[in-house]
Chains A and B, each alone.
Chain A
Amino acid sequence: HPDMAEERRKATFDTDEMAAVIWGSKKYMMRRREITKKVEEHPELHDPYSQAFMTREEGVENAARKATTMIRMLDELGVDPLQFEDVFHLTNEVIGIAGHPLALHAVMFIPTLQAQCSDEQQHWIDLAYNRRIIGTYAQTEMGHGTNLKKLETTATYDPKTQEFVLHSPTRTSMKWWPGNLGKSSNHAVVVANLVINGENYGPHNFIVQLRDLETHQPMKGITVGDIGPKLAYNDTDNGFLSFDHYRIPRLNMLMKHARVAPDGSYTRPPHAKVGYSAMVYVRTHMITHQAMFAAYALTTAVRYSAVRRQGEIKPGCGEVKILDYQTQQHRLLPQLARAYAFMFTGRAVKSVHARVDKDVAKGKVDEMAELHYILSGLKAVVTHLTGEAIEQARMSCGGHGYSKASNIFEIYGVAIGGCTYEGENMVMLQQLAKYLMRA
């Protein structure tokens, strides 16, 4: 297209160099391109038609087909499943952002097990990693979101049988929202209040089998299902779950930090925040993901603004590219700057997280709380501003931005989900404010 060619000739920098800055290195930039090319060569990894025209059921089935095909083809594609960044890019190419049945398995279930399993519980990690089980992370309840202290689900220890009895005492205690909980997962890390001899020790993590591994039918004492359509992310089966005096063995409590001995005696974790490691991990990655969402929408908006022509600035000189209007530049370029800012900030905070994570593994937890607080603020501010950026991108495309052909609806819906998942934004700001008041 002559307009796009003209735009690219005008650049004052090398886009390959910049891509290397954005993605961390030239090597990884090339790796991304290799993966993109390989996906292009395999039609079995493609959508049969635009996802925008699929019903929810078609979308869920298509995502399951692509996810399992992709996993089977990892060797052929030359992608090492241990290379998180490679798998992440492959998933974005093949699946997109509307989710798939193993989404939470990879980003919440396995990292939680890795962070919370004691030495004698490592077999759970093997089972999850080899996909012998499919899991998710179930914390949020219908009547209780971010406020962990008010969760109602109980795990009462029975020393006679050395089991925990999981129970949902009320309708509001039903787990509600966890991704892939409804129809895909057969296991979940469940957050429940630990009760021993009538004393409540607060929320702890338990690994719980939800469905039979052969028939996929729910286990006796388990009620589980999908919560219905959402603003976006509809290829994921967000679910509900309740327990009716459901028994699990003592060793199904994740005991890396807190422990319950066979006689019911309790050992506290070294730091109150270590149980939050799954949330801290996800929030760390959310910052760069949000930057990517903003950049997705802005890529569409800026490119479209370079080919869309409307009106004349100088009479007789012909219609101008809408990107030449100051209002369009003011609408898009500061948002693009934010996308870059969030990407750099996300990378900085990831490196802090990697350091703190190593310290926590050695029992040094000093920086964990500070990381938790700044991530709370970042998560709230970045998700909110990303939503604004995407909305500006949509409107800058005029009426066509409102069409699903722009894909901005899905980007917006998925990105602003981040304002409420992993902690509602007002609560996140309050958590950071607490730290600031103490400081």
Chain B
Amino acid sequence: ANAAQSGEGLSSLVHYLVKPHEKHSLIDKEPNNDYSAHLLAFEWAARRQVMKAYERLLSLTSRGLSGEEAWNENAVELNRAARLHTRLYIAQKFYDSVHTVVDAGCRAVLEDLLHLHLNYELIDMAYYLLEDGYLSSQQLDHMKEDMYRLLVKLRPNAVSLVDSWDYSDRELRSVLGRKDGHVYEHLYKWAQDSQLNRTQVLPSFEKYLKPMMKE
């Protein structure tokens, strides 16, 4: 923030702090399957929060607080800035990685997942986008509708998307998550291994429960 305000050069990790940007999102005006305006919204939220946290830090020190005191008074805002920066980084890496996938079938479903991710995360952080009018409530509704559309579109691929992680039943160690789907028979079989089932009558019955019933 300091370097950005002083016009110094910034590394690619934080270049978005000085990147020219629109005042309002174009999220509902994107051509089909182009979610670049979504990524710009992540940048907007991160940039705004970083600069706001920075300005608040300066304001606290100008009121006579020491650097450490001002930092502590501003820590929640600073953490929010760090989170938004990181969520931007994750979104960018997801976006870049999906666009390198060659197999058309995989790429198509990964794009659906990516678009779901971008909508879901931006809806989750909408506060930062609505606050200064960067995003309108209509655009927020547009993202919600797009998210619901993507849920329906992804639904038939749901099981195959988890199958693709290729976990064996041994690795997963989950009766509920068995690859063959035969959950209920195995749930009963698993319960039979319980130590409490080694005898029909537990010692606690003779020791405590039976005397209680006779009291």
For chain B, residues 104 to 127, give those with C-beta under 8 angstroms from any C-beta of chain A: 105-106, 108-110, 113-114, 116-117, 120
Q: Determine the chain B residues whose CB is within 8 A of the CB of A380 once the complex forms.
A: 82-83, 86
A73 within 8 A of B: no
Q: Determine the chain A residues whose CB is within 8 A of the CB of B116 once the complex forms.
A: 333-334, 337
Q: Report if A14-B105 is in contact (Cβ < 8 Å); known contacts: A337-B117, A374-B86, A437-B78.
A: yes
For chain A, residues 44 to 87, give those with C-beta under 8 angstroms from any C-beta of chain B: 46, 49-51, 53
For chain B, residues 54 to 112, give those with C-beta under 8 angstroms from any C-beta of chain A: 54, 57, 71, 75, 78-79, 81-83, 85-87, 89-91, 93-94, 96-98, 101, 103, 105-106, 108-110
For chain A, residues 136 to 183, give those with C-beta under 8 angstroms from any C-beta of chain B: none
User: Does A13 lie within 8 Å of B160, measured CB to CB?
Assistant: yes
Q: Report if A405-B176 is in contact (Cβ < 8 Å); known contacts: A303-B159, A439-B1.
A: yes
For chain A, residues 1 to 23, give those with C-beta under 8 angstroms from any C-beta of chain B: 1, 3-4, 7-8, 10-15, 17-19, 21-23
Which among B3-11, B32-40, B207-215 touches the partner chain? B3-11
The proximity string for A residues 123-144 relative to B, scoring 1 for CB distances below 8 Å and 0 otherwise, is 0000000000000000000000
**Chain A: minimal CB distance from B193 (Å):** 5
Q: Determine the chain B residues whose CB is within 8 A of the CB of A337 once the complex forms.
A: 113-114, 116-117, 120
A432 within 8 A of B: yes
For chain A, residues 349 to 368, give those with C-beta under 8 angstroms from any C-beta of chain B: 349
A271 within 8 A of B: no
User: Does A430 lie within 8 Å of B79, measured CB to CB?
Assistant: yes
User: Does B159 lie within 8 Å of A7, measured CB to CB?
Assistant: yes
| Bound CA–CA A436/B190 (angstroms) | 51
User: Does A340 lie within 8 Å of B194, measured CB to CB?
Assistant: no
| Bound CA–CA A265/B68 (angstroms) | 33
A300 within 8 A of B: yes
For chain A, residues 178 to 193, give those with C-beta under 8 angstroms from any C-beta of chain B: none
User: Does B93 lie within 8 Å of A344, measured CB to CB?
Assistant: yes
B50 within 8 A of A: yes
User: Does A33 lie within 8 Å of B166, measured CB to CB?
Assistant: yes
Which among A107-115, A238-246, A291-299 touches the partner chain? A291-299
A-B pairs under 8 A by CB, number:
285
User: Does A295 lie within 8 Å of B90, measured CB to CB?
Assistant: no
- Identity of the chain B residue whose Cβ is nearest the Cβ of A305 in the assembled complex: B158
Q: Which of B79, B101, B165, B191 contacts A295 (CB 8 A)?
A: B165
B31 within 8 A of A: no
User: Does B89 lie within 8 Å of A344, measured CB to CB?
Assistant: no
**Chain B: minimal CB distance from A84 (Å):** 17
Q: Determine the chain B residues whose CB is within 8 A of the CB of A347 once the complex forms.
A: 97
**Chain A: minimal CB distance from B50 (Å):** 5
A251 within 8 A of B: no
Q: Determine the chain B residues whose CB is within 8 A of the CB of A435 once the complex forms.
A: 14
| Bound CA–CA A32/B168 (angstroms) | 10
Chain A interface size range: 35 or more
User: Does A437 lie within 8 Å of B181, measured CB to CB?
Assistant: no
A99 within 8 A of B: no
User: Does A433 lie within 8 Å of B164, measured CB to CB?
Assistant: no
User: Does A4 lie within 8 Å of B97, measured CB to CB?
Assistant: no
User: Does A439 lie within 8 Å of B3, measured CB to CB?
Assistant: yes
User: Does B181 lie within 8 Å of A333, measured CB to CB?
Assistant: no
A212 within 8 A of B: no
Q: Determine the chain B residues whose CB is within 8 A of the CB of A419 once the complex forms.
A: none
A40 within 8 A of B: yes
| Bound CA–CA A32/B91 (angstroms) | 28
Q: Which of B98, B106, B161, B166 contacts A29 (CB 8 A)?
A: B166
Q: Report if A326-B103 is in contact (Cβ < 8 Å); known contacts: A93-B171, A306-B158, A437-B78.
A: no
A438 within 8 A of B: yes
User: Does B159 lie within 8 Å of A407, measured CB to CB?
Assistant: no
The proximity string for B residues 8-20 relative to A, scoring 1 for CB distances below 8 Å and 0 otherwise, is 0011011001000
| Bound CA–CA A232/B154 (angstroms) | 33
| Bound CA–CA A377/B79 (angstroms) | 9
User: Does A397 lie within 8 Å of B176, measured CB to CB?
Assistant: yes
Q: Determine the chain B residues whose CB is within 8 A of the CB of A206 once the complex forms.
A: none
Q: Determine the chain B residues whose CB is within 8 A of the CB of A439 once the complex forms.
A: 1-4, 10-11, 14, 17, 50
- Identity of the chain B residue whose Cβ is nearest the Cβ of A23 in the assembled complex: B166
- Identity of the chain A residue whose Cβ is nearest the Cβ of B154 in the assembled complex: A333
Q: Determine the chain B residues whose CB is within 8 A of the CB of A10 once the complex forms.
A: 156-157, 160
The winner among A338, A397, A401, A428 for most chain B CB atoms within 10 A is A338
B29 within 8 A of A: no
- Identity of the chain B residue whose Cβ is nearest the Cβ of A432 in the assembled complex: B82
| Sample of 14 further A-B pairs with CB below 8 A, known A333-B158, A430-B75 | A10-B156, A13-B160, A18-B106, A96-B171, A96-B173, A295-B167, A303-B178, A304-B183, A329-B154, A333-B116, A380-B83, A426-B75, A430-B82, A439-B3
Q: Closest 7 CB pairs between A and B?
A: A300-B177, A1-B181, A13-B105, A4-B181, A11-B160, A377-B86, A344-B97
In the assembled complex, 21 residue pairs joining A and B whose CB atoms fall closer than 8 Å, in A order, are A4-B181, A296-B172, A300-B174, A306-B158, A307-B183, A323-B158, A326-B148, A333-B113, A334-B116, A338-B117, A340-B94, A341-B93, A380-B86, A405-B175, A406-B174, A407-B172, A407-B177, A433-B53, A436-B78, A438-B3, A439-B1
